[in-house]
Amino acid sequence: EAALSVPDKKVDSVCPYCGVGCQLTYNVKDNKILYVEGRDGPANHGRLCVKGRYGFDYAHHPHRLTKPLIRREGMPKTGDFKMDPDRVMDVFREATWEEALEVAGGKLARIRDTFGKRSLAGFGSAKGSNEEAYLFQKLVRTGFGSNNVDHCTRLCHASSVAALLEGIGSGAVSNPVMDVTLADVVIVIGANPTVNHPVAATWIKNAIKHGTKLVVCDPRKSDLARSAHRYLQFKPDTDVALLNAMMHVIVSEGLVDADFISSRTIGYAELEQNVAGYSPELMAPICGIDADTIRYVARLYATSKASMILWGMGISQHIHGTDNARCLIALALMTGQIGRPGTGLHPLRGQNNVQGASDAGLIPMMFPDYQRVDNPAAHAKFEKAWGMKLDDKPGLTVVEIMDAILRREVRGMYIMGENPAMSDPDANHARESLAALDHLVVQDIFLTETCYLADVILPASAFPEKTGSFTNTDRLVQIGRQAINPPGDAKQDLWIIQQMAHKLGLDWQYGHVSEVFDEMRHTMPSIGGITWERLEREHAVTYPCAVEGDPGQSVVFTETFPRESGRARFVPADIIPANERPDAEYPMVLITGRQLEHWHTGSMTRRATVLDAIEPDPVALVHPLDLSAMGGKPGDVITIESRRGTVTLYARADDSSPRGAIFVPFCYYEAAINKLTNAALDPYGKIPEFKYCAIRVALGGTV
Ligand code: SF4
């Protein structure tokens, strides 16, 4: 019916979901989105996946928060609950914006003044715009007075970024996804693009049709594996064994690019020495891939004219995630497969703006553009730019903040557009921490699980209700344009952040979003040449773009690496086992991730009519033989338990998971799987081990 209506306006924007950054057009009538069409953007050329095409009507859902809410006096903060919007007015009361902001910001200011600047922390959002991310981190750094600011990049690619910054001096991709069409060989490892970056997967499939050889390496047999030239189903948690064995072959067979190594890198001798102990024969029983296949794939990658590596959370979400990424970087460097079209390293970014939010400084150790807070020159630069004294000590990361709350070191938080009660590892612990705060302010569009633990809830704007810039996985800065107005008294996020800033003593007077962007580009050399007018005109500009008129570089590292020496650095890695291995009590392995129709904690897509109709219930993907071994059948209810928590959900027979491993998406509040996950951290990226923990499974329970 909606599709048959005639829109009264069309608004060009981008998709609010994944990092591919598809451009789309909202077709709007009477402040309602009727339907969405793809348009000819650099990343999608008209294509959209099911989320981009059908995941829009969450914005009109009756659950939208339309008034500021304040927790009623004496209402306990429970750490475990079923999301029930009908209960909301038992727990909260409506308030005016004036009162809500006074309580929200006023109490944070009092905590800061009583307990010190590091007693506050903030989580920004990878769903918000670059301008929102920039203002949010600026608020924490100048209004709270510390660097205790982070966001969900900590939970996805923090380890990849740590390895990339260390090895090649830049945390972003070297080549756009579309370069797969120029590659002879593409390795996709620890990623499931068909589900998580669906339009990117279509470009990979197109490349295969034109002769590109695809190698998929993953413990789970993804849909893309069916199109692969070779599929390597290595054992969970054995990435370093497999990758070091490949490097061993490349070294021992003389397939390295000696010129590239000598002219563009440092540290090769240590790497060579390290991989000498990782022969394919030794590693085959560990990783589960036979030595001949390891040799074949290593030769294929090293000797092709152009080889590219794309990876995802399967690489990064381990306590050895940084080591995993170090191995991928070393593979590219030793073979010279970087710095040209169709080569390079591409960590597939998850959220639509996780790249931009990280670039904008929504991380505790970096000012905007990855300028370290403890670097005296960067510190002086931002003190001058923002006109006040700044903390030069790196702040706490997502999981560290949760622990600091229970130690009473962090007492107040401001969370914008993130849902740590669902997305953090060991979610029962995270909920306990959030409930223990003296004061929690949450800014969101729905009553998320995190909102249940808030003292003040500020109703914000959905993606199509505001204008801002967003940076996709390819380093493309694009404009998302306002198509509809927020409902009721909900406000745009930039306005809310500014009001909070006023309560914390900052005199901010940003008018149009372009004023924020303009300030950003003057503190961030990578986007220095991008003007708002140009974004308006061209819709998308790639960075690095140092000066106005610069076309922007889609392929980087062509001549040099952005490290002090100009050279990339090899960093060897050794095998480190998962923090929690299966044992007699908990004999199986839990792997968490996403599914095609739902996005992250589900707050948007589970309220999108079509998407919810396709995947309405919480499911666990269980190997059919494991399911029948426990006496079950598809559709049966199972209960999964780890040392940290229990969930009950429906079993779906799925032979993509290896035997002994169960895959569960983290989007279902009824079965919040992060109650089970392990908060053990990678020491460099501080990313938790979402991809591996020990569980036991039994038939039965109540969903
Ligand atoms: Fe949106 Fe990603 Fe799908 Fe494109 S591929 S439509 S950006 S979810």
DSSP 648-691: EEEEEE-TTSPTTEEEEES--GGG-GGGTSEEEE-TTT--EETT
Q: Kindly list the protein residues whose Cβ atom lies closer than 6 A to any atom of ligand 1.
A: 15, 17-18, 20-22, 44, 48-49, 51-52, 197-199
Ligand 1 nearest-atom number relative to CA 472: 7
CA of 331 to the centre of ligand 1 (A): 29
> Residue whose CA is closest, atom 4 of ligand 1?
22
DSSP 68-89: -EEEPTT----S-----GGGHH
Given this model, what pLDDT does residue 511 score?
A: 93
What mean pLDDT comes out for the span 397-426? 96
CA of 176 to the centre of ligand 1 (A): 15
Ligand 1 nearest-atom number relative to CA 17: 8
H helices, E strands: number in the chain: 25, 30
CA of 51 to the centre of ligand 1 (A): 6
Ligand 1 nearest-atom number relative to CA 199: 5
Given this model, what pLDDT does residue 179 score?
A: 98
CA of 580 to the centre of ligand 1 (A): 34
pLDDT digits (tens, 9 = 90+) for 527-542: 999 999 999 999 999 9
The band of 79, judged by pLDDT with boundaries at 50, 70 and 90, is low
What mean pLDDT comes out for the span 581-591? 98
pLDDT digits (tens, 9 = 90+) for 594-645: 999 999 999 999 999 999 999 999 999 999 999 999 999 999 999 999 999 9
> Residue whose CA is closest, atom 2 of ligand 1?
18
Given this model, what pLDDT does residue 585 score?
A: 98
Ligand 1 nearest-atom number relative to CA 48: 6
Structure-block tokens of residue 614? 């396709």
Asked whether the beta carbons of 493 and 132 are under 8 A apart, the reply is yes
CA of 130 to the centre of ligand 1 (A): 18
Burial grade of 4 (CB within 10 A; 0-12, 13-18, 19 or more): exposed
Given this model, what pLDDT does residue 85 score?
A: 64
CA of 349 to the centre of ligand 1 (A): 12
> Residue whose CA is closest, atom 3 of ligand 1?
49
**pLDDT(80) > 80:** no
pLDDT digits (tens, 9 = 90+) for 233-278: 999 999 999 999 999 999 999 999 999 999 999 999 999 999 999 9
Given this model, what pLDDT does residue 4 score?
A: 63
Rounded Cα–Cα distance for residues 64 and 465 (Å): 13
Q: How far is CA 637 from CA 217, 511, 587, in A?
A: 31, 53, 19
| Phi, psi (rounded to 5 degrees) for 210 | -100, 15
CA of 601 to the centre of ligand 1 (A): 17
> Residue whose CA is closest, atom 6 of ligand 1?
52
CA of 442 to the centre of ligand 1 (A): 27
Mean pLDDT of all residues in the chain?
A: 96
Residue of 23, 40, 51, 476 to mutate, ligand 1, most atoms within 8 A of C-beta: 51
The pTM of the full predicted model, rounded to 2 decimals, is: 0.96
Given this model, what pLDDT does residue 2 score?
A: 57
Rounded Cα–Cα distance for residues 197 and 195 (Å): 6
Ligand 1 nearest-atom number relative to CA 44: 4
Rounded Cα–Cα distance for residues 264 and 565 (Å): 9
CA of 511 to the centre of ligand 1 (A): 31
Residue of 36, 44, 594 to mutate, ligand 1, most atoms within 8 A of C-beta: 44
> Residue whose CA is closest, atom 1 of ligand 1?
52
CA of 315 to the centre of ligand 1 (A): 21
CA of 470 to the centre of ligand 1 (A): 13
User: From edge to edge, which strands make up the β-sheet containing 23-29?
Assistant: 9-14, 23-29, 32-38
The band of 31, judged by pLDDT with boundaries at 50, 70 and 90, is very high
Rounded Cα–Cα distance for residues 373 and 387 (Å): 15
Nearest alpha carbon to residue 149 among 441, 383, 434, 362 = 362
Residue of 48, 177, 202 to mutate, ligand 1, most atoms within 8 A of C-beta: 48
What mean pLDDT comes out for the span 651-662? 95
Given this model, what pLDDT does residue 84 score?
A: 63
Given this model, what pLDDT does residue 78 score?
A: 75
